[in-house]
């Protein structure tokens, strides 16, 4: 098994005629993803890499069976796109657009909660189940994705989509495969946090360990610690926290919109101490990660 992304998941791309969306649609199809429809208002009837474009999500869903939607539209219209998908009953939304207004994200998440829809992102590169499918643009070109990701038993959750691929590549090079990898998103508010996703990995028999890529800012890691204190995980967890220099630089954004350190809130040192106290093995260097993971997953995945 995997979580969220399965070999038979049918995927819709909202904004498919855009340059970026058109590119990742082509590469995802080459990787084996089932992209069954696209939506761009006013461009219904066109085809993008063999995928039929519809004017509305409702029309696409009526014509095709759809379980997941990738939202790749300009930030100001993400809310409208997400609401359209939610009204059509799509189970999973992956929002790759970045810097979506916070009030819009809150409105999307409130509606998604009512409808029972899982949201990944904004500012996510997506979800990948190696050698089965990907929902989004994890890994870039299909050939690069195949080199970086390998099917196995280590789940990855990362606040950086690019670093998720780097971590997966390090594991793959040492013979350690991955079950499901999720780019949770780098905006200040995202639909699914580490703590939200942990139960899904715990319920997946294929996943034997977790690897986290953490960043300065936000309280995502602290929320995970709270959850681990309340209910220890069956999964051993290894983490790497980027931006240790940020402990000396307050109130500055580092890369992602959500990576801002204010006092001890969101500081890398504070995160590391809390994670370690909760039983998470924290690597101080990226090069240590395969070794640490191998200690908890001794056999090639």
256 is catalytic: yes
The long-range contacts involving 218-223, CB below 8 angstroms and separated by at least 24 positions, are 218/159, 218/188, 218/258, 218/259, 218/266, 219/265, 219/266, 220/159, 220/184, 220/193, 220/194, 220/195, 221/194, 221/271, 221/274, 221/275, 222/270, 222/271, 222/274, 223/193, 223/194, 223/195
Residues 6+ apart with CB under 8 A from 96: 20, 70, 71, 72, 121, 122, 123, 124, 125, 126, 136, 137
The catalytic residues are: 256
């Amino acid at each position: 098994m995997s979580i969220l992304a399965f070999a038979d998941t049918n995927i819709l791309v909202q904004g498919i005629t855009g340059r970026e969306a058109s590119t990742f649609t082509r590469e995802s199809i080459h990787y084996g993803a089932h992209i069954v429809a696209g939506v761009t208002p006013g461009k219904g009837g066109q085809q993008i890499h063999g995928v039929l474009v519809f004017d509305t999500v409702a029309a696409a869903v009526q014509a095709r069976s759809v379980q997941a939607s990738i939202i790749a539209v300009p930030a100001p219209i993400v809310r409208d796109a997400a609401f359209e998908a939610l009204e059509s009953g799509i189970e999973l939304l992956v929002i790759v657009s970045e810097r979506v207004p916070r009030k819009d994200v809150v409105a999307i998440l409130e509606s998604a909660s009512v409808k029972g829809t899982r949201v990944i992102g904004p500012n996510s590169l997506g979800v990948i189940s190696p050698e089965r499918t990907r929902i989004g643009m994890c890994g870039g070109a299909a050939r690069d994705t195949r080199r970086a990701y390998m099917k196995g038993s280590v789940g990855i959750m990362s606040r950086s989509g690019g670093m998720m691929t780097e971590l997966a590549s390090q594991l793959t090079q040492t013979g350690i495969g991955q079950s499901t990898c999720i780019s949770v998103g780098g905006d200040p508010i995202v639909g699914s946090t580490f703590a939200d996703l942990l139960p899904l990995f715990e319920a997946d028999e294929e996943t034997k360990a977790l690897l986290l890529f953490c960043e300065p800012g936000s309280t995502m890691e602290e929320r995970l610690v709270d959850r681990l204190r309340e209910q220890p995980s069956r999964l051993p967890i290894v983490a790497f926290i980027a931006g240790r220099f940020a402990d000396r630089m307050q109130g500055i954004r580092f890369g992602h919109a959500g990576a801002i350190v204010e006092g001890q809130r969101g500081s890398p040192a504070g995160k590391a101490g809390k994670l370690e106290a909760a039983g998470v093995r924290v690597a101080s260097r990226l090069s240590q990660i395969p070794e640490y993971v191998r200690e908890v997953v001794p056999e090639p995945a």
